[in-house]
Every structure is written in structure tokens, then in C-alpha cells.
């Protein structure tokens, strides 16, 4: 299987995981609903190249709104979830460190809360949007620690690490040995003296 096909397959897999975990593992609240789909939005941002992570998050989440009957949320979900995946990709796609994972998932969750708050403020009224905040906080309170732990665990599985490297290999900087560099200078100096 070539690299492009593997990338597309993994993108489709994460989009499906996001769709199912959003549409079917949910709790309706005042406006909209809380769900566990963000766990896979965030985890997908580690395994997929940024563009594909954004697509899987945006499309999977938007289709979940359609299936769950929250059609009015579809456009804002497409934008907000895509932005969440992009923020996570910037934070920890290249380096899976605990600090980066926590910072990226928290920042993405803040953006998500802000995006839906603005939408609900204009659509339902600001008093209702403010009243919906406490219930909306349930989602990141569950998603952030779960996504961090899941990403750390999956990143240590050799097959998945190799798959990620195959999809988007990192450029390895060649380490310069100081001794060899100095020897090269001496050799160059010796050649110059010999030419004199």
C-alpha cells in the first residue's frame, strides 16, 4: 500500500471515529450536546499530517451534527473542529511531549468553547450562551486528559510510530562531528600549503 493510500485510509478512520464518538456518545445540554469525539480530534492531530487532521476533524464532526439532528451547528462545527485539529497539530504533531500535548489540547478546547459561545450568543442570545458555559466545560474536562493519555499510549506502539513515520517522514538533521570538522579544516589548510 503506497503512502498516499495509507494517509487517506488513516484520515477516513479518524473521521469515522470522530463521527461515531460524537454522534452516539453524547449528552444533550441546554444548547447542543457534549460528547467524547474531541478525544479523537486531538489524537488524530498527532498521527495525521496537519491538512489531513483538519479534514478528518472538520468532516467527521460536521457529519456527526447531521446524524445527531443538530443541523444548525454544522457550519460552525466544521470551522471550530478544523481549527482545533490545526492547533493540536501545531503543538504536538512533530514532538509528542507531555507539555506540548497538554498545552495543545487545552488551547484547542479554549478555542472550541469560545467558538460555540459566540455562535450560541448570536443565535440564542447572550444570556443563554453564558448559562450554557458550565455544562459545556464537561466536554474538555473529559476530553483533554483522555486525549493526552491516549496519544501518549498510542505513540509508544512501534507499528503506529512506524506508520506515522512512513506517512510523513521527519527530516533528520545530520549531526556534525566537531573533530571531523576540525580535521577537514586542517586537511584543507594542508592542501593549501602544499599548493604553495
The Cα 98–Cα 106 span in angstroms is 12
Q: What count of residues does the chain have?
A: 196
| pLDDT number for residue 166 | 87
pLDDT on residue 10 = 94
- Beta strands at 33-35 and 26-28: parallel, antiparallel or unpaired: antiparallel
In this structure, the number of other CB atoms found within 10 A of the CB of residue 56 comes to 29
What does residue 27 show for φ and ψ, rounded to 5 degrees? -130, 115
The model carries a pTM of: 0.82
Q: Partners of 28 in the beta sheet? A: 33
Tens-of-pLDDT digits for all 196 residues of the chain?
Answer: 688 899 999 999 999 999 999 999 888 887 778 899 999 999 999 999 999 999 999 999 999 999 999 999 999 999 999 999 999 999 999 888 899 999 999 999 999 999 999 999 999 999 999 998 998 999 999 999 999 999 999 999 999 889 888 887 766 544 444 454 455 455 555 544 444 4
What gap in Å lies between CA 151 and CA 91, rounded to an integer?
13
User: Cα–chain-centroid distance for residue 84?
Assistant: 7
Question: How high is the pLDDT of residue 196?
Answer: 46
Instruction: Count how many Cα atoms sit within 13 Å of the Cα of residue 91 in the half-sphere of its side chain.
Output: 24
- Determine the Cα–Cα distance for residues 85 and 58; give it in Å rounded to an integer: 8
Total Cβ atoms within 10 A of residue 35: 23
CA distance 84 to 107: 8
Amino acid at each position: 500500500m503506497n503512502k498516499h493510500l495509507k494517509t487517506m485510509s488513516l484520515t477516513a478512520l479518524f473521521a469515522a471515529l470522530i463521527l461515531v464518538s460524537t454522534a452516539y456518545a453524547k449528552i444533550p445540554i441546554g444548547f447542543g450536546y457534549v460528547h467524547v469525539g474531541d478525544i479523537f480530534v486531538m489524537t488524530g492531530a498527532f498521527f495525521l499530517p496537519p491538512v489531513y487532521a483538519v479534514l478528518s476533524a472538520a468532516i467527521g464532526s460536521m457529519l456527526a451534527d447531521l446524524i445527531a439532528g443538530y443541523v444548525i451547528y454544522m457550519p460552525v462545527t466544521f470551522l471550530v473542529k478544523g481549527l482545533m485539529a490545526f492547533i493540536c497539530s501545531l503543538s504536538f504533531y512533530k514532538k509528542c511531549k507531555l507539555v506540548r500535548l497538554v498545552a495543545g489540547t487545552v488551547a484547542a478546547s479554549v478555542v472550541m468553547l469560545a467558538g460555540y459561545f459566540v455562535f450560541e450568543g448570536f443565535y440564542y442570545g447572550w444570556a443563554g450562551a453564558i448559562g450554557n458555559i458550565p455544562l459545556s466545560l464537561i466536554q474538555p474536562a473529559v476530553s483533554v486528559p483522555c486525549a493526552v493519555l491516549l496519544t501518549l499510549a498510542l505513540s509508544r506502539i512501534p507499528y503506529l510510530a512506524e506508520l506515522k513515520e512512513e506517512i510523513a517522514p521527519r527530516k533528520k538533521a545530520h549531526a556534525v562531528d566537531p573533530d571531523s570538522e576540525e580535521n577537514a579544516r586542517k586537511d584543507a589548510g594542508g592542501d593549501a600549503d602544499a599548493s604553495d
